[in-house]
Amino acid sequence: MNNAIEVVEKEIGSVVEIEEKACLWRMMKIFPKDYTAIMEYFEDNSVEPIQTPYARYVDFDWEKEMKKWAICKLFDLVFRKWHFFVGIPTPKKLEDKDNLKADFIAKQKYLKAMHYGAYHKVDKRYKEIYAHAQQNQIKLGNESIEFYLNDPNEVAQDKLETMILIPVVE
C-alpha cells in the first residue's frame, strides 16, 4: 500500500462528464446510472475508456470543510447538495450529447494520494492530505478528483482503491 502524498503533474485529457448536484446518500444511485450512460455513449462511438471512472467534486472550500464539527458533517450527509461531475477519460475528443459533456482536463499539478478501503471512510484521508498541504505550504484548488481504480461490485469494501487528485494553486 502506497500512503505517500505527493505533488505530481498530470494531464487527464479528453473526458466525457455528466454534471450533478445531489446529497451524498443519493450518489450511490447516481454513479452507476451515469457511468452506464457514458459507457453506452462510448459504445455508440466505438470508443474504449482509457482510464477508470472518476468523480470530480467542485466548489469546495478546504478550510471550511476541514473545520466542520461532526454534527455539521452529519447534517451535510443528509441535506447538502454536492456539485460534482461523473466522468470517464476517453482517447479522443467526442461531441456533447444531451447531458453528456465532452471536455479536456489540461496538464496541471496535483496533490496526489491513495485511499484504500470503503468510500465512506475517505474523509480521514482528506484530513491527512489537507494537513500535508498546510505543513508544506501548498495551496489547494477548489475541487477534488477521485478515480475509482476497482469496482465495488467485484471486490470487498476493504479492497477498494481510490486515487485522489487535488489541484495545486501556484
Is there a domain that residue 107 lies in? yes
Query: Considering its fold, how many domains does the chain have in total?
Result: 1
**163 lies in some domain:** no
- Residue 21's pLDDT band (boundaries 50, 70, 90)? very high
Distance CA 147, CA 56 (A): 9
Matching residue, cell 478550510? 63
Whole-number Å distance between alpha carbons of 156 and 45: 33
Model pLDDT, residue 90: 96
Q: Is residue 1 part of a domain?
A: no
List pLDDT tens digits, range 103-158.
999 999 999 999 999 988 898 999 999 999 999 999 999 999 999 999 888 999 99
Domain extent at residue 121 = 6-150
> What confidence score (pLDDT) does residue 103 get?
97
Task: Give the pLDDT mean for 22-33.
Answer: 90
Residue 94 lies in a domain: yes
Q: Is the pLDDT of residue 23 over 90?
A: no
Q: Given this model, what pLDDT does residue 125 score? A: 94
Q: What CATH number is attached to the domain comprising 73?
A: 3.20.80.10
Q: What is the pLDDT of residue 74?
A: 62
The number of C-alpha atoms within 13 Å of 153 and in the hemisphere containing its C-beta is 3
**pLDDT tens by residue, 60-102:** 888 877 776 666 666 666 677 889 999 999 999 999 999 999 9
DSSP 8-state class, residue 142 = S
Is the Cβ–Cβ distance between 46 and 19 less than 8 Å?
A: no
Q: Is residue 55 part of a domain?
A: yes
What span, in angstroms and rounded, lies between the C-alpha atoms of 15 and 29? 21
